Chains A and B, each alone.
Chain A
Amino acid sequence: QQQVKQSPQSLIVQKGGISIINCAYENTAFDYFPWYQQFPGKGPALLIAIRPDVSEKKEGRFTISFNKSAKQFSLHIMDSQPGDSATYFCAASKRSGGSYIPTFGRGTSLIVHP
């Protein structure tokens, strides 16, 4: 059972365009939603994160939109650049044993053409 569904699996955009990646979850126990960026040969790196009491969070060209009632959240990358080409993972985390444990989406491979 896939607890966090991510789409699309791959995405191609032109330089300067907007990249949008969507995620949906089922478990209402999730209360922390990070996005990770992974380049080939590297581990994932935290990009931006949001808690469910906020509907939107923006950091530079990256924005998370969160819809608690629909149990959906999305990542928008404005003015996409070739350097943004990477795999993006959404995650939903919940507390367990005193820690936050993430469940990851399957990832989106983003290619930004120059």
Chain B
Amino acid sequence: KAGVTQTPRYLIKTRGQQVTLSCSPISGHRSVSWYQQTPGQGLQFLFEYFSETQRNKGNFPGRFSGRQFSNSRSEMNVSTLELGDSALYLCASSTDPGLAGEQYFGPGTRLTVT
């Protein structure tokens, strides 16, 4: 079974631009979560989608948004990029998030904002 895939793997953007990151979960997984990983703040939860519905959202500004499609693929968007948005953005998928089971992480997208 293929793992979680994220595209692109690396991205360089300029302050003020917007960016869209993509995540394809493991086949059969209906839940997708997004995390931001930085050296200063560590791993922080962004949001979680299940069956195309956002069920949970972390403490991030409205510039961060996401969506999930009917095939469970998910995208996250960051508008009006700031230097502090430079981070590794991780996507994780699971079969049923209500079971506190295993989340499978993708390799992440490394976003650099200049």
> Which 4 A-B residue pairs are closest in the complex by CB-CB distance?
A43-B105, A99-B97, A104-B43, A97-B55
Residue ID in chain B nearest A44 by CB atoms: B105
> What A residues does B105 contact at CB under 8 A?
36, 42-45
**A interface majority secondary structure:** strand
Interface contact tally, CB-CB below 8 A: 60
Count A-side interface residues using an 8 Å CB cutoff.
Answer: 25
B98 nearest CB neighbor, chain A only:
A98
**Known pairs A43-B92, A46-B103, A101-B56 / 16 extra A-B pairs, C-beta < 8 Å:** A41-B107, A42-B105, A43-B107, A43-B108, A45-B104, A97-B55, A98-B55, A98-B97, A98-B98, A99-B55, A100-B98, A101-B45, A102-B45, A104-B42, A105-B42, A106-B42
Cβ-defined partner of B50 (8 Å) among A36, A44, A99, A104: A99
Asked if A107 and B102 make an inter-chain contact with CB atoms under 8 angstroms apart, the answer reads no
Which residue in chain B gives the minimum CB-CB distance to A107? B42
Chain A residues near B4: list those with CB within 8 A. 43
Residues in A whose Cβ lies below 8 Å from that of B72:
none
CB interface residues, B 53-68, toward A, < 8 Å = 55-56
Interface residues on B, range: 20 to 34
Asked whether B90 is an interface residue with its Cβ less than 8 Å from the other chain, the reply is yes
Q: B42 near A99 (CB under 8 angstroms)?
A: no
B residues with a Cβ closer than 8 A to A are 4, 31, 33, 42-45, 48, 50, 55-56, 90, 92, 97-100, 102-108
Interface contact A44-B43, CB-CB below 8 Å? yes
Residues of B within 8 A of A72 (CB): none
In whole angstroms, what is the CA distance A101 to B103 when docked?
11
Bound together, the chains give a CA A43 to CA B48 distance in angstroms of 17
Cβ of A93 < 8 Å from any Cβ of B? Answer: yes
Given contacts A43-B4, A43-B92, A106-B42, contact A101 B48 (CB under 8 A): yes
